[in-house]
Structure 1
Amino acid sequence: MIRPLLMCFVLCVVYATSKPMEKKSRVHLEEPLSHLEHNDDKNYEYDHEAFLGHEEAKSFDDLTPEESQHRLGFIVDKIDDNKDGFVTEEELKIWIKNAQKRYIYDNVDKQWKDFDVNSDGLISLEEYNNVTYGTYQDEPDSEYDHKKMLARDERRFKVADKNGDLTADREEFTAFLHPENYDHMKHVVVQETIEDIDKNGDGLIDLEEYIGDMYNHNDDMPEPEWVATERQQFTEFRDKNKDGKMDKEETLDWILPNDYDHSEAEAKHLVFESDADKDGKLTKDEILNKYDLFVGSQATDFGEALIRHDEF
């Protein structure tokens, strides 16, 4: 079996030796709440996926409106975290973010059994290294520099391992596999990005390194127009202090932009559409009266959704 992160590294090496004509991006954009059109004049399918997540939303099919409202009531009780009888924008935002994270948790679930070799409910750094690198740990440096990648993975693992016991529970392992989604891991993503792009070893990214990461120049062909656009982007927006290079803070702003919170926007939209008395928060009755906005008259296994929210 080809190990997941090692395979990712190999693919990066292959990519770096190719001559890409299309733009390569390192920007970690927030996963869209839905790939459907958000047009409430046509239907509420976008809102259903945003509220429940794609897998749960697409499994709606047979429930009557009465049964749909009944099951939605259980969801509302879960969203009302402080049990005050109201659902606020913040509580809705948290629920929506969790719904969108299910694909991450599914990915962790798929890999968990491979790495938790002794089935103790934890993944040790030793288990991870043995499964990922196996005998490569004892081999001299090779074409893909396994020792360097092992050291890099260990550094990330130790940052994800919040209690420092060199073992990861599910949340810590999720942070390890998907560091861009955790605030305490973002500096690791930045560090790894700079290490990948910084060719002269000064710990910064200059313009040519920035362009070189996205495009390998071919003397026989003119540069695509997007390359000139990226040069302008670097000069005008990426390099905020105008010193000709991107430091860690500027690299963070580039690869992990925080300009727009889709979950917050959807939460505001749902409250606006459902808040009959316009007090800025929702009662259960207000949500159930607009049940078709949240879930429609279709069936899903809400029990699975509730269990997953309890687990994470």
Structure 2
Amino acid sequence: MLIMMLLKSLVTLCILAAVAFAVPAQEKRIHHHADLSDHVHTDDHGFQYDHEAFLGKEEAKTFDQLTPDESKDRLAKIVDRIDIDKNGYVNHAELHYWIKHRQRRYIEENVNKNWNDYDQNQDGKIAWEEYKNTTYGYYLDEEFDDVEDKATYKSMLRRDERRFKTADRDSDGIATREEFTAFLHPEEFDYMKELVVQETVEDIDKNGDGKINLNEYIGDMYTPENGESEPEWIQTERKHFAEFRDANKDGYLNGDEVAEWILPREVDHADNEAKHLIHDTDTDKDEKITKKEILANWNMFVGSQATNYGEDLTKRHDEL
């Protein structure tokens, strides 16, 4: 009897572990803009934004674990790759291409990481049924009865299905690699932009009226602790809402206004970052940079244990 009880408990634990792995957290929240990094772009407190822009988010984490000498050595090799015409200089076009390539590679690696989990029959495509069963299989069998927040998981399933069908351009119920990329990263595809706006409104619109008021807008960014005064950046966001976001001045953000906010037109972050890096490292102001100039400013382009330590000290100092 005891053995049977132990076996039953073990099976239950295994199921719970499998479910925890299979059902995604609310990772499907779309970024408000297809920026190069989630970090604030300010050089006053380190260069984490620049690191992720230049290297890609995953590669930046690897460099963060290196010594300064290792980081510089790897950077020197990267510079040789960026210098496409091998003339000893990195110009704006070459750096812009490199940054765009690194960002695209991050997306491709993310898709590759998920692909084999969902392509169950290894046919090079992912059917909606494959995705649904892999992600929600156990819960579907139990009709979500074992879930504490049943409504939330049912909502997640409906949302996934809607996004999958939108990404599936030929409506055959099967996603090619390009369509699956659109499913995972809809902010990168023009034909997914209406869905990006729709999901964002649904996430922030707490009273369900189909638009975003000021309190919902601020509440999505900031939740005050007891007795905490509102930080200055939140006051700035209030002004942005009133003066820029709410274009028709009706006190709400509608779909068009949300689109202007989260999907600003013709903003090339890679282009801006390439200009920024060249401007700050081009000592002779010839609008191109040498390997020597780049390595002299290596901590702007790449991180290391040393630069992280310095950034930690800066943060601690600011907190005091």
**TM-score, normalised on structure 1?**
0.62
Number of residue equivalences: 269
TM-score (norm 2): 0.60
State which of 187, 207, 210 in structure 2 corresponds to 1:203.
210
Distance 1:120 1:11, change over 3 A: closer
Matches within 5 A, 1:122-201: 122-137=125-140, 139-140=142-143, 143-145=149-151, 146-201=153-208
Counterpart secondary structure, 2:25: helix
Question: In 2, distance between residues paired with 1:103 and 1:250?
Answer: 29
Identify unmatched segments of 5+ residues in structure 2.
1-17, 300-320
1:202 aligns to what SS in structure 2? coil
Aligned to 1:242: 249
* SS of residue in 1 equivalent to 2:35: coil
Which residue identity is paired with 2:114?
Q
Q: Which amino acid aligns with 1:190?
A: V
Task: Give the letter for the 1:30 counterpart.
Answer: D
Q: Secondary structure at the match of 1:225?
A: coil
**Structure 1's 168 and 295: CA in aligned 2 closer, same or farther, altered over 3 A?**
farther
| Letter in structure 1 aligned against 2:154 | K
Q: Percent identity?
A: 45
Correspondence for 2:110 among 107, 119, 135: 107
CA contact (8 A) 2:92 2:278 kept: yes
Shift of 1:290: 6.2
| Superposed CA offset, 1:226-252 (max 9, x none) | 497254443233211101211112112
What residue identity is the alignment partner of 1:264?
D
Match of 1:31 in 2: 36
Distance 1:49 1:11 in 2: 21
* Structure 1 residue 156, shift from structure 2 partner: 1.0
Distance 1:165 1:216, change over 3 A: same
Report Cα offsets for 1:118-176 as digits up to 9, x if no partner: 12222221111111111433555663323332221111112223343332233332322
How far does residue 187 in structure 1 lie from its aligned partner after superposition?
2.3
Q: Aligned partners of 1:196, 1:109: CA distance in 2, in Å?
A: 27
**Residues 257, 172 of structure 1: alpha-carbon distance in 2 compared, 3 angstrom cutoff:** same
Q: C-alpha displacement at 1:205, in angstroms? A: 1.6
Kindly indicate whether the alpha-carbon contact (under 8 Å) linking 1:33 and 1:100 is maintained by their aligned counterparts in 2: no
Deviation at residue 266 of structure 1 after TM alignment? 3.3
1:93 paired residue among 84, 93, 96: 96
Bigger relative contact order, structure 1 or 2, given CA contacts below 8 A and separation 6+?
A: 1
Q: Aligned equivalents of 1:248 and 1:63: distance in 2?
A: 45
1:191 alignment partner AA? Q
- Aligned counterpart for 1:225 among listed residues 216, 226, 230: 230
Report the Cα distance in structure 2 between the residues aligned to 1:122 and 1:158, rounded to whole angstroms.
14
Counting helix residues as a fraction of each chain, which structure ranks higher?
Answer: 2
Taking a change above 3 Å as real, the CA distance of residues 212 and 288 of structure 1, as seen in their structure-2 partners, is closer
* Residue 63 (structure 1) shift: 11
Aligned mates of 1:175, 1:102 — CA distance in 2? 15
Deviations 1:161-217 (A, max 9, x none): 334333223333232222233333232221012123334443212234434545679
**Does the 8 A contact of 1:47 with 1:293 survive in 2?**
no
Q: Cα gap change, 1:26/1:162 in structure 2, threshold over 3 Å: closer, same or farther?
A: closer
Given residue 113 of structure 2, which amino acid in structure 1 is its aligned partner?
Answer: K
Instruction: Tell me the CA shift for residue 64 of structure 1.
Output: 11
Shift in alpha-carbon separation, 1:247–1:275, aligned structure 2, 3 A: same
Shift of 1:88: 6.4
Matched with 1:8 is 25
Following TM superposition, by how much is the alpha carbon of 1:115 offset from its aligned partner in structure 2, in angstroms? Answer: 1.0
Indicate the larger mover: 161-170 or 183-192. Answer: 161-170
Amino acid at match of 2:99: I
Deviations 1:98-126 (A, max 9, x none): 21343333333322221111122222211
Distance 1:33 1:197 in 2: 19
Are the aligned partners of 1:32 and 1:262 in contact in 2 as well (CA < 8 Å)?
no
Asked whether the 8 Å contact 1:180–1:189 carries over to 2, the reply is: yes
